[in-house]
Chain A
């Protein structure tokens, strides 16, 4: 397999590989355009994705200092978004932006093996309070927030295994020195929080440690090396055929012809939608001048 020159790995491309090596090969190496539906009904699924993207956009605007009332007016009449927004603005801790040194939509990347690994964070917030496991007053706390708009709240064990949970804190340690006065951020000062728009009181919190960092480095480096060393043969297809219902390549793999139904998604796949949410705000072609 030859990866394109200067290919950058992300949590979602690595997750693709872990879920199904064939999907990684089709999507990132062969760059196969295959515009089949992944979820049906298409319109419902699209609206769900769009709302998620709108919510992310609203929060980004909020952190830039646009008054909450002005933002609320932009979504008037959309009950679901209004509900999510209400849950967000009710959150303690985000109300005083002056105290919270939050960096919304920040991208970080670092070399790993022969490639780069990159991540785009919803928000990285710096707070003076220390995590519970740190002695009082020992440095700042760097909290990674990730907004999830999935309709079901995934189990902690599932979240723990997600590549995102491994990549984000790892990369903040490797590449986040700029947020810490030029010094690498010690893993113990990092926490990752998944916050669910529909379950505002049930965030999933993950603390981080030196040991987790070392394990993640070995694991992610190994994964990237493994991908780089794959031959030109067809990569193996996933054994979990349920995944194929929600994968556009199913006709190429002879794994059925119908897109999976949004309503029939199990917790695993629905969370997947929330995780892969990437409505492209740049999608409207920029006219270059």
Chain B
């Protein structure tokens, strides 16, 4: 009942806006002071201010550093400046748009791809990683030898995150028996990914990868007996790097390092970049990494014009190496610095809410806050005890969304945010909204690739078709695969069929089944089953194909044909396409090594899927995101879309996930940064301070990206059935009591 106590006194005090729907409870919100609410409008609909126009129309040789809080119209300036450059006849391909993450470039893509844009070359929208990869692809023969690759005259192999982790697993697994990482409990795949992450951080922050262990160890303030894990992490990082150099493998860290250490200083590459790009626009510089600063401090002065946009109070990607303190220093390389102070999106009440929350989280920074106190506000929330349990809270959220839409809010103006969005939460909410006819989409598919039924089916069939791998599917796996593969085959018949026909990895023909059983299964389904069996048998008689080719082959010739399970299941076909893509990249990344070792690639892939090393990621879907649909995402993902929304729902506000870091025993975003003093240990106080800062940044970032109102989904018991009370709910309590 703790949550109820926190809010109960506030039920009737303040209201934030007139548009909130009825909650079906006594929480009906009405505007009490009658203040008109700012209408929903996109940034581009705003009339440009004089200071915006000054930058947009600045001379074509101006180098400007623009900062300001979110919602102050900086991206609008970036977009309009881009239009201005194009209208002034600057060839599009002379313009470089640099962003720390591609999702942040959406407003720029809209301009460049619109039919209104002038004819000409295409501007490049890149990340620093994208530039590095392109340059390595083009100029590899110039630097491969000096960079220490063992086969400089052979082209490199670019690794994906998946294949990098695969190689890491391959190298590290044998070391466990030698006692490495003894004493820590961590899932192996997380261990591999944290070592890969350390290498990335070393490159992006700009220190030698051989210093990772020393840096982590010197900050360790816990049991000295545990400090050896950092030496172990260093050993693995060294091994991995040596292996990459030996085999011409380029993981992300090596791509960026090749670029910054070898190509950027190389005359031909630098000349190419400097001649190609004459005008620069960077947005969300605060989310970028220190090596971006290192490159740009030399590059910015060479551009004819530059506009660097920096969001004050942000830096949400710290866990990926973002370093606003460092990148803000690029202002020194510009001729002019402009600061925007006012927010276009923020209403008086939301500003007031933001201020109260900001002070509740970080009271000592009140003077520095640009959010203004004053207006009365409140935040509607799911009423307890009616929403004591999680599913009830989700029902309330769905009701509220439905009511908002009925009152005229476009679904695309509503976002549902949580610190993490579990698969089950996503599924439950999308299903509820679907039931009400409300379009909703999430930042990723609801299941990882390996958990998709279509993936499991295809891999089971692959195992059946390659008995030489010795990975015979269980009866359960076969039953499951048959249900997915044969249209209209139900569980009962599939199980019966499996019991009768599956013998030691072999499938018997349907005609050999007793007639009464054939009748129970039906001849139509039996015919389809026979088609599948015959196809597999014919395949087994011939030469084996690469796994991705096999999957395409069986998909096209059988599973997608009429009468089979994928024929009218477009989602399954999409999963199949993603799986085939994953296998292909795996083959391109590791195929050569496996061939030398004599290990069948398909077998290795299946085993790695089982171990969770690969296909555990969520691949981006083929479909583009719908234009007008409720968006469900973790809060940070929403912030990285560089968009505001009329309404935000915050779920799980009691969760510690809003402020606590994920436990990562082998890496550390603060210690492995340019800001960390190497002589200091990382204390509990540092941890507390970091979590307060990060909650402050996140929450003020969300409030600034909201135009109408915020609604809280609270349940007394969290998704797992436990009570929880993290810093956010406490801060909300303090904030609401303070007004």
**Pair from one complex:** yes
Q: Is the CB of A4 within 8 A of B560?
A: no
Q: Is the CB of B121 within 8 A of A175?
A: yes
How many angstroms between the C-alpha atoms of A289 and B114 in the bound complex? 27
How many angstroms between the C-alpha atoms of A281 and B585 in the bound complex? 12
Nearest CB in chain B to that of A75: its residue: B155
Q: Is A60 an interface residue (CB 8 A)?
A: yes
Q: Is the CB of B320 within 8 A of A289?
A: yes
How many angstroms between the C-alpha atoms of A60 and B120 in the bound complex? 21
Interface residues on A, range: 35 or more
Q: Is the CB of A36 within 8 A of B155?
A: no
Nearest CB in chain A to that of B619: its residue: A285
Given A115-B115, A289-B289, check contact A33 B153 (CB 8 Å): no
Given A34-B573, A108-B120, A289-B129, check contact A257 B160 (CB 8 Å): no
User: Which residues from B are CB-within-8-Å of A34?
Assistant: 560, 573, 577
User: Which residues from B are CB-within-8-Å of A57?
Assistant: 137
Q: Is B555 an interface residue (CB 8 A)?
A: yes
Q: Is the CB of B153 within 8 A of A251?
A: no
Nearest CB in chain B to that of A76: its residue: B153
**Stretch of B58-66, B368-376, B468-476, B546-554 on the interface side:** B546-554
CB of B120, distance to nearest CB on chain A (Å): 5
Q: Is B557 an interface residue (CB 8 A)?
A: yes
How many angstroms between the C-alpha atoms of A64 and B141 in the bound complex? 12
CB of B399, distance to nearest CB on chain A (Å): 31
In chain A, positions 227-261 with a C-beta closer than 8 Å to chain B are 248, 250-252, 254, 257-259
Q: Is B439 an interface residue (CB 8 A)?
A: no
How many angstroms between the C-alpha atoms of A244 and B288 in the bound complex? 48
How many angstroms between the C-alpha atoms of A199 and B133 in the bound complex? 33
B74-109 CB contact bits vs A (8 Å, 1 = yes)? 000000000000000101010000001110000001
**Stretch of B12-20, B346-354, B378-386, B622-630 on the interface side:** B622-630
CB of A3, distance to nearest CB on chain B (Å): 11
Q: Is A223 an interface residue (CB 8 A)?
A: no
Q: Is the CB of A109 within 8 A of B120?
A: yes
> Which of A31, A35, A73, A107 is close to B551, meaning CB atoms less than 8 Å apart?
A35
Q: Is B272 an interface residue (CB 8 A)?
A: yes
> Which of A66, A116, A182 is close to B139, meaning CB atoms less than 8 Å apart?
A66
User: Which residues from B are CB-within-8-Å of A61?
Assistant: 138-139, 141
Q: Taking chain B's interface residues, is the majority helix, strand, or loop, or is none over half, making it mixed?
A: helix
How many angstroms between the C-alpha atoms of A40 and B561 in the bound complex? 18
Given A32-B570, A37-B549, check contact A252 B122 (CB 8 Å): no
> Which of A5, A37, A73, A112 is close to B627, meaning CB atoms less than 8 Å apart?
A5
Given A74-B141, A108-B121, check contact A251 B560 (CB 8 Å): yes
How many angstroms between the C-alpha atoms of A116 and B115 in the bound complex? 5
User: Which residues from B are CB-within-8-Å of A288?
Assistant: 100-102, 127, 129-130
User: Which residues from B are CB-within-8-Å of A96?
Assistant: none
Q: Is the CB of B127 within 8 A of A289?
A: yes
In chain A, positions 34-88 with a C-beta closer than 8 Å to chain B are 34-37, 40, 42-43, 46, 57, 60-61, 64-67, 70-71, 73-74, 76
Q: Is the CB of B141 within 8 A of A116?
A: no
Number of A-B contacts (CB under 8 A): 174
User: Which residues from B are CB-within-8-Å of A289?
Assistant: 100-101, 127-129, 200, 204, 252, 256, 288-289, 320-321
How many angstroms between the C-alpha atoms of A183 and B122 in the bound complex? 18
In chain B, positions 620-655 with a C-beta closer than 8 Å to chain A are 622-624, 627
Q: Is the CB of B272 within 8 A of A64?
A: yes
How many angstroms between the C-alpha atoms of A76 and B142 in the bound complex? 17
In chain B, positions 135-161 with a C-beta closer than 8 Å to chain A are 137-142, 153-155, 158-161
User: Which residues from A are CB-within-8-Å of B159?
Assistant: 284
> Which of B100, B129, B320 is close to A286, meaning CB atoms less than 8 Å apart?
B129
How many angstroms between the C-alpha atoms of A106 and B94 in the bound complex? 11
Q: Is B208 an interface residue (CB 8 A)?
A: no
Chain B: residues with Cβ within 8 Å of the partner, total of: 73
Q: Is the CB of A36 within 8 A of B552?
A: yes
User: Which residues from B are CB-within-8-Å of A177?
Assistant: 119-120
How many angstroms between the C-alpha atoms of A182 and B90 in the bound complex? 9
Q: Is the CB of B622 within 8 A of A33?
A: yes
Q: Is the CB of B127 within 8 A of A43?
A: no
Q: Is the CB of B268 within 8 A of A109?
A: no
Q: Is A283 an interface residue (CB 8 A)?
A: yes
Q: Is the CB of A116 within 8 A of B558?
A: no
Q: Is the CB of B129 within 8 A of A287?
A: yes
User: Which residues from A are CB-within-8-Å of B133?
Assistant: 282, 284, 286
Q: Is the CB of A70 within 8 A of B119?
A: no
Q: Is B41 an interface residue (CB 8 A)?
A: no
Nearest CB in chain B to that of A114: its residue: B115
Nearest CB in chain A to that of B552: its residue: A37
Q: Is B541 an interface residue (CB 8 A)?
A: no
Q: Is the CB of A109 within 8 A of B122?
A: yes
Q: Is A6 an interface residue (CB 8 A)?
A: yes
Q: Is B511 an interface residue (CB 8 A)?
A: no
User: Which residues from A are CB-within-8-Å of B576?
Assistant: 33, 35
How many angstroms between the C-alpha atoms of A182 and B567 in the bound complex? 53
How many angstroms between the C-alpha atoms of A109 and B93 in the bound complex? 11
Given A34-B573, A289-B320, check contact A257 B580 (CB 8 Å): no
Given A31-B624, A35-B573, A43-B546, check contact A178 B154 (CB 8 Å): no
Q: Is B298 an interface residue (CB 8 A)?
A: no
Q: Is the CB of B552 within 8 A of A107?
A: no
Q: Is B116 an interface residue (CB 8 A)?
A: yes
Q: Is A174 an interface residue (CB 8 A)?
A: yes
CB of A146, distance to nearest CB on chain B (Å): 18
CB of A144, distance to nearest CB on chain B (Å): 15
How many angstroms between the C-alpha atoms of A259 and B545 in the bound complex? 15
A147-176 CB contact bits vs B (8 Å, 1 = yes)? 000000000000000000000000000110
Q: Is A222 an interface residue (CB 8 A)?
A: no
Nearest CB in chain A to that of B269: its residue: A64
Q: Is B113 an interface residue (CB 8 A)?
A: yes
Q: Is B562 an interface residue (CB 8 A)?
A: yes
A1-28 CB contact bits vs B (8 Å, 1 = yes)? 0001110100000000000000000000
Given A288-B100, A288-B101, check contact A254 B128 (CB 8 Å): no
Nearest CB in chain A to that of B550: its residue: A42
User: Which residues from A are CB-within-8-Å of B585?
Assistant: 283-285
Q: Is the CB of B110 within 8 A of A108?
A: no
The interface of chain A, by Cβ under 8 A from chain B, is: 4-6, 8, 31-37, 40, 42-43, 46, 57, 60-61, 64-67, 70-71, 73-74, 76, 106-116, 118, 174-175, 177-178, 182, 248, 250-252, 254, 257-259, 281-289
* 9 further A-B pairs in the complex, CB-CB below 8 A; given A70-B141, A107-B93, A108-B121: A32-B570, A33-B578, A34-B560, A35-B580, A70-B142, A251-B556, A284-B589, A287-B161, A289-B200
The interface of chain B, by Cβ under 8 A from chain A, is: 89, 91, 93, 100-102, 109-110, 113-117, 119-122, 127-130, 133, 137-142, 153-155, 158-161, 200, 204, 252, 256, 268, 272, 288-289, 320-321, 545-546, 549, 551-553, 555-558, 560-562, 567, 570, 573-574, 576-578, 580, 585, 588-589, 622-624, 627
CB<8 Å pairs between A and B, sample of 26:
A33-B622, A34-B573, A35-B551, A35-B573, A37-B556, A42-B545, A74-B140, A74-B141, A106-B93, A108-B119, A113-B115, A116-B114, A116-B115, A174-B119, A175-B120, A177-B119, A177-B120, A254-B562, A257-B557, A257-B561, A259-B553, A284-B589, A285-B585, A287-B252, A288-B100, A289-B252
Question: Which 7 interchain pairs have the tightest Cβ spacing?
Answer: A36-B556, A110-B119, A178-B91, A175-B119, A33-B577, A6-B113, A42-B549
